[in-house]
Amino acid sequence: MSAYPNATATATAGSAPPSDDPACGAPLPVLGRDVTVPLVTGGEVGYAALDYAASAPALQRVWDDVAAYAPYYGSVHRGAGYLSQLSTDLFENSRRTVAEFLGCRPDDQVVFTRSTTDSLNLLAAVVPDGCQVFVFETEHHASLLPWRDALVTYLNAPRTPAEAVATLERALASRDPKGPALVCVTGASNVTGELWPVRELAAAAHAHGARIVLDAAQLVPHHAVDIAELDVDWIAFSGHKLYAPFGSGVLAGRADWLRDAEPYLAGGGASRKVARRADGGVDVDWHTTAARHEAGSPNVIGVYAIASACKALTEAGFDALSAREQALVARVRAGLAEVPEVKVLSLFGDDAPRVGVLSFVVEGWNSSHFAAALSAEYGIGVRDGLFCAHPLVRTLLGSDPQDPGECGAPEAEPGERSLNAIRVSFGAGTPDEHVERFVRAVRELVSDGARWNYRTEDGRCVPDRNGAATAAA
């Protein structure tokens, strides 16, 4: 039974203005710009998707390119037929497009994976024996957790970019200089949106004989990223953060560790030759190219979607996209600053540069209750929880590291204190109206309270099906 009166559980399309309407101001149209959703208070409203940091909506350009290719879909690298040959060319041309988008060096490899998480687990699987890995506790779990078979040093959360560099310098200076070492760092925080000093961290790593991998999941949708200019060894990112939600990711960078390690997955496509031995076993000759770690039938649609998004963002121009996004960031920050009960989370301080990602808590509100009210009463989709960055959010909230809390699964009832926060995020497809509505909704919820009753169901705060339209905050 729906909590929304006279509405089905499925969103309907119709009345919201498209994001490429000049009045909306969004430079790149995305799917979902004409979707409306029901409100618990009655009626419908155009859905305001402000959860780009989790999964950005698909660019219309990406969708159109994929739809145009779909009738020609075929097997990759394995067929003599026309569609197979066309799909193979599309797949490999997409690899070249991504390499150009990232400014890859001539000897770099671009390996297609499932996601940032998959990319970093792939890198973790190919690091040499005895590799020392240095990672800040502020990382997303995708870059915090994969290094289980390495000697890992977790670095404390820095409070300034300069402190981040100094912390890494000290840690690297005390390492065993004889063995391999790897530094893993984010480009932009998925919690605060703050930019990290990647170039300086790369210089520190290389000065001490270490390599560095950049988790660019939250950076590539917002900024031009050049692997050579930043002087990082690898870059990892996900298609679904880059307006290409078809299940592909990228690991791009130096080829030697990738070439020297056993394949990430063993199977067809990774092998060049397989032969039986006299003793009954098999001998395998593995590829030395990116195919070594791309076993199985490639996700050509997902890869092509990433390439399409790379082209669309490049053609739109990151300077213009970033300038417009920073205006939205400034509007959100100014609006939240007008509400004394709101605390914006920051690691490096209020003036730190950031992409279109902000997290905050509201005094007197369970964050999940607040997020649920934004959705149910205003048609605004945001994120609540610990954002798969538990140590960082706990640091920012000043909580004990042992306090319970699950990513996106609050344990407290509405009105009770819970270890979670609210995240709003946006990008090139966000209309101005969505940001204005969000700022207004925050102000009204804090000043007037929620207009509906809420309860916890299966770990989520949801509108009460039988709740009267009364304040519940």
Catalytic residues: 388
* Those residues with Cβ within 8 angstroms of residue 159's Cβ, 6 or more apart along the chain or in another chain: 347, 348, 349
Distance CA 141, CA 391 (A): 9
Residue 19 sits at φ, ψ, to 5 deg, of -75, -10
Cα distances (Å, whole numbers) of residue 367 to 125, 342, 360: 37, 11, 9
Other Cβ atoms within 10 Å of 386 Cβ, number: 25
* Those residues with Cβ within 8 angstroms of residue 187's Cβ, 6 or more apart along the chain or in another chain: 195, 196, 198, 214, 215, 216, 218, 219, 220, 223, 225
- The closest alpha carbon to 50, from 344, 451, 400, 426, belongs to 426
Terminal Cα-to-Cα distance of the chain (whole angstroms) = 24
Residue 153 sits at φ, ψ, to 5 deg, of -115, 115
Encode burial over 103-116: b for 16+ CB neighbours within 10 A, e otherwise.
bbeeebbbbbbbbb
59, β-bridge pairs: 30
**Amino acid, single-letter form, for residue 166:** A
Encode burial over 301-321: b for 16+ CB neighbours within 10 A, e otherwise.
bbbbbbbbbbbbbeebebeeb
* Those residues with Cβ within 8 angstroms of residue 10's Cβ, 6 or more apart along the chain or in another chain: none
Query: Token match 């169901």: residue?
Result: 457
Distance CA 45, CA 47 (A): 6
Cα distances (Å, whole numbers) of residue 105 to 27, 210, 231: 30, 19, 10
Instruction: Compute the half-sphere exposure of residue 244: CA atoms within 13 Å on the CB side of its CA.
Output: 32
Query: Token match 């609050």: residue?
Result: 410
Other Cβ atoms within 10 Å of 279 Cβ, number: 5
Look up residue 377 and give its two tokens: 């009463």
